[in-house]
Structure 1
């Protein structure tokens, strides 16, 4: 069984933990699938990343901190680029974005998907070629669209009739013809958490295929002749582990391609099937290899095109969290260890829901290990919690940790590269952690730690 976002799929958690969670033979072992490629446990028992001891990183940069393995994230970029050779691979800026990350994905030959003016500003400030930027979003403002047109972004994924009107007016004013794709809601239910399933009918994204809105949007764009329609776009969700839902999505999207070709005598040159490929947060998750994903998705598109007598459009995909998610772990310091009447042991760390909201928001599952030493090999079922004034401030719901875990230990939680720093908050006025990139035995700060001065700078009261 694969783990999904919904905790109910894991069975009774109680004081025994979920049904699938069993004590490991050695509580200090690292499961390779959960950790960045250069992470090891040294002879002294501490974790190392890129040749650096996490104790030294913590001493220099403090905790909590997001630790990014640059070799790992670059390797994941290359695997998707090679697995989808001949297609365009768009990195999801919403997963994690900063100027250093933009430069990494640009150097590795990927394109970049942004969904707000702020993300676009970071991309442009970092020197991302605008023709390799795509702009998403269900409610883009006039200023966001204007900036995208002025910058010359490679494509704008239109999401509503109001947006088509807004963008058409800007195109006329600027005397430009921006390239656009129409986001189509294809009615496919992805097997994931309802908040990150994005192609069923009852949600805010895109034009309905079955209600006829998608075809109307295409007609409107073609007839007004101020926007360059390059293709159709679909995104069925996130944290997806197989390609079965993509096959149905591709079939429905290509049927609309065929309708457009027959009606308007226009052959749309591109198609975006989205992505949102899953990663391993626990041992229950089984991600697919990018090469296998590429082969399967190219194959299903080719089959559908052959059946409809269409030329195969240029494909683009959006791997989502699968590039940066596994490349980062969060490093915490343990503050208190509390046994609650034999029900469970709570291990409190110096971060929490302000640096990882996903457990509270999506009922997500994570793993953890003691990072500063090897612990007693007696496993103890623990819950890792944060410092915030919320009972739901849980980082790791259930994990076997060494029974001798104690205040001052460093604790590492893998799989926190996506949607952790980008969704971080200042809840309880806690400054957000830094992001430390490690490569070839050197660590550098790519996003600095916030300070109380940063918090007060916005308070003009």
Structure 2
């Protein structure tokens, strides 16, 4: 592993060999199937998704572009629905949401988790069944809660005492009743990035079980006439590869569930244990299949319920990025290739593309790892260790930190990055006044626009400084 260097990690001993898990391929043209959507193939070096060569897609729609594989998305959604039969499966709107995706989810029988008024607006516009919508968030505004009550959202996941009071007042004003889940923190450290671990005590989400706040939240919801207590909600983090981390969380949440029944005389009908299941961004990642996850989660809950002599509540699960993450890739055009001299005579190849941190902030924000492939032609050149970087005025504007690409990558080539379905387009920005890329759906050899490319007119529409 690279060691510390005063000039930064890129100059450390061993940095140019790449991370320990990255292996030089025998053929830099080959795909690693586990990293790509199910329909991704290469023919004579040209990458196709959904039967559409990306060279043709870029000619029609330009670059950069997000490419959404409809068949892969819906296959993954149905796999979670079927594996977790008897559960309510909530798709994470924050990962990627648009009206097309919402309609697919509605047709395929999944529920939808939203965490803002904007995401709720998309669900409403798509005609998504509101009784299958869950509304998360640690600081929902009065206006957002009003909209949720008026639309008849199936459940609001409350996150603070102030929100309980706010929601109770709104339901009283409107003479309505709202289903409520209580977000609890179980004090479990998920083995993931600090910013996406969400069940330890020192963070903004939920009511602590250990401090007694969670039980107090239950009492307050039970005494509010317009609130109907559904159950407890726990979420330990994201990019989790198996169910072992849920065992302690489930034990603590079910202990509170049993205590509510014993002390307060209320048997809550539901429980949500979160999910946040991971995907393969690189060859170091080994995610579990939905059936494995379902078996593991059910075994944990059944064991704890038997041990406590309580009935198993109806369970909800939130797969997170595991549905949309692998179903989308991003295609870029190479603008420049630069060999940079480093200390000791070493050199690094920087492959600059026409996107960057404005369409994928995760590498800069989370130090996330991605893979990449040459997508527009075959190459006989030997693999070389490269870094795919963006066009923005930031040294940290890196898309793929380390990847073996053919040594003859040149301007005009297309490079594709898999696993960009979750949190890339949804976190995209107009940094440097960049225009956000389109999302182009592919299926059976045809393309369709899911989200169009932004235009300069879009960019300037909110600028009212010129009379």
TM-score computed with the length of structure 2 as normaliser: 0.95
Aligned to 1:438: 442
Could you list the per-position Cα deviations for residues 97-127 of structure 1 after superposition, in whole angstroms to 9, with x for gaps in the alignment? 1000101111111100000000000001001
Alignment check: 8 A CA contact 1:12 1:18 kept: no
Secondary structure of the corresponding residue to residue 162 of structure 1: helix
User: Where does structure 1 differ by over 6 angstroms across 4 or more consecutive aligned residues?
Assistant: none
Aligned counterparts of 1:225 and 1:302: Cα–Cα separation in 2? 32
Alignment of 1:225-304 (within 5 A): 225-304=225-304
State the 1:265 CA deviation: 1.6
Q: How far off its partner does 1:263 sit?
A: 1.4
| Structure 1 residue 14 displacement after superposition | 1.3
C-alpha deviation, 1:12, in angstroms? 6.6
Aligned to 1:186: 186
SS of the residue 1:291 aligns to: helix
Deviates more, 1:423-432 or 1:215-224: 215-224
Counterpart position of 1:345: 349
> Cα offset for 1:376?
2.4
- What does residue 3 of structure 1 align with? none
Q: How far is the alpha carbon of 1:375 from its aligned partner?
A: 1.6
Quote the offset at 1:310 in angstroms. Answer: 0.7
**Cα shift at 1:441:** 1.3
d(CA) in 1 for partners of 2:268, 2:40 = 45
**Partner SS state of residue 119, structure 1:** helix
Counterpart of 2:50 in structure 1 is 50
* 1:225 CA displacement: 2.9
* 8 A contact 1:13–1:19 mirrored in 2: no
**Out of 389, 400, 403, which is 2:404 matched to?**
400
CA contact (8 A) 2:21 2:283 kept: no
Q: Secondary structure at 2:324's aligned position in 1?
A: helix
Question: Does the aligned pair in 2 maintain the 1:179–1:230 contact within 8 Å?
Answer: yes
Residue pairs, 1:83-94, within 5 angstroms:
83-94=83-94
Post-superposition shift, 1:18?
Answer: 1.1
Q: Which consecutive residues of structure 2, in runs of 5 or more, have no partner in the other structure?
A: 1-8
Question: 1:112-191 maps to which residues of 2 (within 5 A)?
Answer: 112-191=112-191
Q: Give the aligned partner of residue 5 of structure 1.
A: none
Contact 1:115 1:135 (C-alpha < 8 Å) held by counterparts: yes
Q: Specify the alignment match of 1:14 in structure 2.
A: 15
Classify the secondary structure of the residue corresponding to 2:17: coil
Q: CA deviation at 1:242?
A: 1.5
Give the whole-Å Cα distance in 2 for the aligned partners of 1:12 and 1:141: 50
The alpha carbon displacement at 1:245 in A equals: 1.4
Q: Tell me the SS of whatever aligns to 2:66.
A: strand
Q: Is the partner of 2:231 in helix, strand or coil?
A: strand
- In 1, the alpha carbon distance for the partners of 2:385 and 2:28 equals 11
Once residues 13 and 436 of structure 1 are traced to their aligned partners in structure 2, the CA distance between those partners, rounded to angstroms, is 39
| Cα distance between partner residues in 1 of 2:195 and 2:117 | 23
Please report how far the alpha carbon of residue 377 of structure 1 lies from its aligned counterpart in structure 2 after TM superposition: 4.1
Change (3 A) 1:116 1:13: farther
Q: 1:455 to 1:147 in 2, by over 3 A?
A: same
Pick closer, same or farther for the CA change 1:443–1:204 going to 2, 3 Å.
same
**C-alpha distance in structure 2 between counterparts of 1:20 and 1:96, whole Å:** 29
Partner in structure 1 of residue 375 of structure 2:
371
Q: Distance in 2 between matches of 1:387 and 1:325?
A: 24
User: How far is the alpha carbon of 1:138 from its aligned partner?
Assistant: 0.1
- Alignment check: 8 A CA contact 1:28 1:377 kept: no
Counting only pairs closer than 5 Å after superposition, residues 100-115 of structure 1 correspond to structure 2 as: 100-115=100-115
Aligned to 1:417: 421
RMSD value, Cα: 1.0
Q: What's 1:62 paired with?
A: 62
SS in 2 for 1:438: strand
**Structure 1 position 45, deviation (Å):** 1.9
Inter-partner Cα distance in structure 1 for 2:13 and 2:79: 37
Give yes or no for the alignment of 1:77 onto 2:77. Answer: yes
- The TM-score, its normalising length taken from structure 1, stands at 0.97
Which residue does 1:453 correspond to in 2?
457
> For residues 310-369 of structure 1, what are the alpha-carbon distances to aligned partners after superposition, in whole Å with 9 as ceiling and x for unaligned?
100010010000000000000000000000124200000000000000000000000000
Question: 2:97 is matched with which residue?
Answer: 97
CA distance, structure 2, for counterparts of residue 99 and residue 345 of structure 1: 40
Structure 2 CA distance for aligned equivalents of residues 298 and 243 of structure 1: 10
| Contact 1:26–1:377 (CA under 8 A) maintained in structure 2 | no
CA distance in 2: counterparts of 1:285 and 1:49, whole angstroms: 22
Question: How is 1:19-30 mapped onto 2 (pairs within 5 angstroms)?
Answer: 19-30=20-31
Q: Matched residues in 2 for 1:118 and 1:226: separation? A: 25
Q: Determine helix, strand or coil for the equivalent of 1:224.
A: coil
Q: Work out the CA distance in 1 between the residues paired with 2:113 and 2:88.
A: 11
Q: Which residue of 1 aligns with 2:5?
A: none
